[in-house]
Copies of this chain bind each other. A is one copy, B any other.
Amino acid sequence: MARPKPLSGFPEYLPRGRMVELAVLDTLRESFELHGFANIETRSVEPLEQLSRKGEITKEVYVVRRLHAEDNDRGELGLHFDLTVPLARWVLEHSGHLQFPFRRYQIQKVWRGERPQEGRYREFTQADIDILGQGELAIHHDIEVPLVMLEALEKLHDQIGLAPVLMHVNNRKLSEGFYRGLGIEDTLAVLQVVDKYAKIGPQATCELLVDELELSSQVAQRCVQLAGIRTLDSGFVQQVRELGVRHPLLDEGLEELVTLVEQAHHRVPGRLCADLSIARGLDYYTGAVYETELVGHESLGSISSGGRYDSLASDGKNSYPGVGISLGVTRLLDPLLARHEFVVSRSVPSCVLVAVDDEDSRGVSDEVAAMLRSRGVPCEVAPRADKYGKQIRYADRRGIPFVWFGGLVGEIKDIRSGEQQPCDAHEWSPADDDRWPRVLPAE
């Protein structure tokens, strides 16, 4: 068989890359669970009609069918393209068994049937947190959810040297209230144009609003002025007020946003700004909206996005309003791994290689390894009873820091320093930093 080639859009990693990913996933899990979010997984497939309700996205769905399915089976199922649509379905299915507000996190692969193209992922991992109410959900959760994600990202900054982030937040009520105050009726259309602001700039946004939506130049100008407002503190309120537009929904949005910005300023200073150009294309957001840049890596686009939705899921009896935010784990990590932004202290979990004198005494080495493992020290036994120099090179090539010689009472060599000393497998432990592979920032 010839050497296989990678499939575009389906990233895979060597063990070191996967160790970085696992470190990130572990930190996310711990952060989310410390905040009381319970984990669920949903199946990878949904009935196709469930996935294709949102016009445009239909194009990106991967259809799944049995190789020998009859023709009438065709196109029944599709791979999920996010974790929000499956959550809405899952909550409706299980609502009778859940306590609300229901806090869940979900870390899974999702798929998009994109054409192969640079920077487009066809299989990638997302990490989502959402809080769902039954009938109602208090507004303070709109502040809680982005702060939980920021706290997790801050831990990644501290632990593995991930670049700091800046979360950009807005509120749909603010924008919609402002547009209505200007007499605009189709506020969603304006939002969808303003969504391009960061890419195309104020001038082009204004032209689109005039040309496509037939707004007057004066009204379009005000929409663009609103989108241009960005502050790290509550200063945005004054700037909005100075534009002279009044509407009760605008007041509500301003109040919600100022509370969020002030609390974030207190809890994670410098990591969140009000950015009134943030619109989010999807039509289901009804309040707070979030996007997140990795500072110094803005070209990655938003690595973590979400918002408040009031009616994503609803059965006859109840609606389930919610607020959530999603981290694009692959979108964040894949480019950083490609640029070697992280260093992993070794390529295997083993902290110790137990040397083997000869094949007859392999059992002795096995016993040493078993004793170390019972005390939580990852280790492996040398695969061949080679000369010691060769066994040390085996460890060295994998970055295993220690080689054990002899039986339960033997000697251990730190191959980094060359130091060798007597030790007892019942007692010996490595330094905490050496026990498991560590992920560190490069340089």
CB of A62 within 8 A of CB of B67, answer yes
Question: How many chain A residues touch the partner (CB < 8 A)?
Answer: 94
CB of B38 within 8 A of CB of A315, answer no
Complex: how many Å from CA A140 to CA B380?
13
Complex: how many Å from CA A40 to CA B21?
10
* B-chain residues with CB within 8 Å of residue A229 when the two chains form the complex: none
A92's partner among B1, B60, B69, B103 (CB-CB below 8 A) is B1
CB of A41 within 8 A of CB of B13, answer yes
User: Does A379 lie at the interface of the complex (its beta carbon under 8 Å from any beta carbon of B)?
Assistant: yes
CB of A104 within 8 A of CB of B15, answer yes
CB of A383 within 8 A of CB of B101, answer yes
Complex: how many Å from CA A350 to CA B37?
8
User: Does A68 lie at the interface of the complex (its beta carbon under 8 Å from any beta carbon of B)?
Assistant: yes
* B-chain residues with CB within 8 Å of residue A35 when the two chains form the complex: 373, 378-380
Interface centre among A10, A13, A64, A384, by most chain B C-beta atoms within 10 angstroms, is A64
* B-chain residues with CB within 8 Å of residue A434 when the two chains form the complex: none
16 contacts between A and B (CB under 8 A): A1-B313, A6-B93, A7-B43, A7-B47, A7-B77, A13-B40, A18-B39, A19-B39, A35-B380, A36-B350, A37-B349, A44-B111, A62-B64, A62-B66, A62-B67, A263-B363
Chain A contacts with B in 153-196, Cβ cutoff 8 A = none
Chain A contacts with B in 330-372, Cβ cutoff 8 A = 347-350, 359, 362-363, 370
Complex: how many Å from CA A182 to CA B138?
78
CB of A36 within 8 A of CB of B348, answer yes
User: Does A265 lie at the interface of the complex (its beta carbon under 8 Å from any beta carbon of B)?
Assistant: no
A69's partner among B19, B113, B348 (CB-CB below 8 A) is B113
CB of B93 within 8 A of CB of A3, answer yes
Give the Cβ gap from A290 to chain B, nearest Cβ, in Å. 19
CB of A384 within 8 A of CB of B36, answer no
Protomer copies: 2
CB of B10 within 8 A of CB of A378, answer no
CB of A36 within 8 A of CB of B379, answer yes
**Given A41-B18, A373-B34, A65 contacting B62 (CB threshold 8 A):** yes
User: Does A120 lie at the interface of the complex (its beta carbon under 8 Å from any beta carbon of B)?
Assistant: no
**Given A18-B41, A92-B1, A93-B5, A68 contacting B64 (CB threshold 8 A):** no
User: Does A89 lie at the interface of the complex (its beta carbon under 8 Å from any beta carbon of B)?
Assistant: yes
Interface centre among A89, A377, A383, by most chain B C-beta atoms within 10 angstroms, is A383
Give the Cβ gap from A363 to chain B, nearest Cβ, in Å. 8
Give the Cβ gap from A2 to chain B, nearest Cβ, in Å. 7
User: Does A409 lie at the interface of the complex (its beta carbon under 8 Å from any beta carbon of B)?
Assistant: no
* B-chain residues with CB within 8 Å of residue A75 when the two chains form the complex: 67
Complex: how many Å from CA A115 to CA B2?
34
Residue of B nearest to A314 (CB): B1
A39's partner among B3, B22, B58, B63 (CB-CB below 8 A) is B22
User: Does A45 lie at the interface of the complex (its beta carbon under 8 Å from any beta carbon of B)?
Assistant: yes
* B-chain residues with CB within 8 Å of residue A79 when the two chains form the complex: 64
User: Does A97 lie at the interface of the complex (its beta carbon under 8 Å from any beta carbon of B)?
Assistant: yes
Complex: how many Å from CA A169 to CA B59?
50
CB of A90 within 8 A of CB of B10, answer no
A138's partner among B315, B348, B380, B383 (CB-CB below 8 A) is B383
* B-chain residues with CB within 8 Å of residue A384 when the two chains form the complex: 138
